[in-house]
Amino acid sequence: MEKIILDGRTVAKHVTEKLVDRVKELKARGVTPCLATILVGDDPSSETYVKMKGNACERIGIKSLRIHLPKETLTDDLLNVIEELNQDKSVHGILLQHPVPSHIDERKAFEAIAITKDVDGVTSLGFGQTAFGFGKYPSCTPAAIMEIINYYQIPINGKFAVVVGRSPILGKPVSALLLNGNATVTTCHSHTVNLSEIVKQADIVVAAVGKPNFIKGDWIKEGAVVLDAGYNKGNIGDVDYQECFEKAGAITPVPGGVGPVTISMLLKHTVISAETSTEQSH
């Protein structure tokens, strides 16, 4: 079996190229898709992420509305800003950059985002809809993982998938999406006993644990598909790439794997939101 490098840049390019025409069509109808990004405080890596997302929007003709609030901002102030954006008909997506300063109730802020504008999939309502199989905007990294699987036509029906990590915007929703695709899913985490033995049985491994080089080559079944959603300091994923590469049938690199597709999913969701709001107003 030929080993496949699951190249996220190729997948992201495929997604965004298709979006360009949809954005043009919306503009012809007098609608410019708009993503509002909210950054609270001045965390340098968060600033970089927000800038990257804004630039990605602008490249395909989506308006990027950047709102930068001081780190002293209180929860209520942030909720007021979100509510204004909810009411603003020209805004189609709202992204609150995580993490916010510790004195802010982040969950409360996420929940304040209108479901129709929750293009980053951070609300509990959005999560519930994703789990039920009718969510429009799954969290962007899980959506990216599914997009890579679909692009490379990796079969998931009846396969055994192991997700390592259970965060509410990555591990849990990707488990739900794989389950909806008829995989048999085991979600593992820091309390899982015999983790390596469980991973060894997997046809599909999703690494979403936030620890560099955590998943070792001898945990991987010969020919398994390995999707690394981790991104740690120094451009290192959650998977020991060199070791796992030897065993895997298909694997995402870091960088250039899940990351670029995550941003393209955010753009796609914003365009879908703009299309939906246009349909509803006509």
Catalytic residue chosen out of the listed positions 7, 63, 97, 240: 97
* Cβ 112 vs Cβ 104: under 8 Å: no
pLDDT of residue 280: 80
Q: Write down the mean pLDDT value for the chain.
A: 96
* Residue 201 contacts residue 220 (beta carbons within 8 Å): no
Can you read off the two tokens belonging to residue 197?
């033995």
Every domain of the chain and the residues it spans = 29-114, 140-258
Catalytic residue among 7, 63, 118, 120: 120
Region 188-203 average pLDDT: 97
**What top-level class would CATH report for the domain 29-114?**
alpha beta
pLDDT at 281 > cutoff 90: no
pLDDT tier for residue 116 given thresholds of 50, 70 and 90: very high
Active site residue 97: yes
Q: What is the pLDDT of residues 174-191, one digit of tens each?
A: 999 999 999 999 999 999
pLDDT confidence bin for 264, thresholds 50/70/90: very high
Collapsing DSSP to helix, strand or coil, 65 comes out as: strand
Mean pLDDT of 238-263: 97
Q: Is residue 200 flagged as an active site residue?
A: no
* pLDDT, tens digit (0-9, with 9 covering 90-100), for 71-91: 999 999 999 999 999 999 999
Instruction: Say yes or no to pLDDT of 282 above 70.
Output: no
User: How far apart are the C-alpha atoms of 209 and 199, rounded to whole Å?
Assistant: 13
- Non-local CB neighbours of 167 within 8 Å, separated by 6+ positions: 208, 210
Tokens for 93?
A: 């997506």
Q: What is the mean pLDDT of residues 249-259?
A: 97
Neighbouring CB atoms inside 10 A of 63's CB total: 18
Q: Do residues 18 and 151 make contact, with C-beta atoms less than 8 angstroms apart?
A: no
**Are 29-114 and 140-258 equal in CATH topology?**
yes
User: What are the structure tokens assigned to 271, written together?
Assistant: 């365009």
- The span from the CA of 27 to the CA of 77, in Å, is 33
Q: Is 63 marked active-site? A: no
Architecture in CATH for domain 140-258: 3-Layer(aba) Sandwich (3.40)
Q: Above pLDDT 70, what percent of the chain? A: 99
How many angstroms separate the CA atoms of 20 and 271, rounded?
A: 10
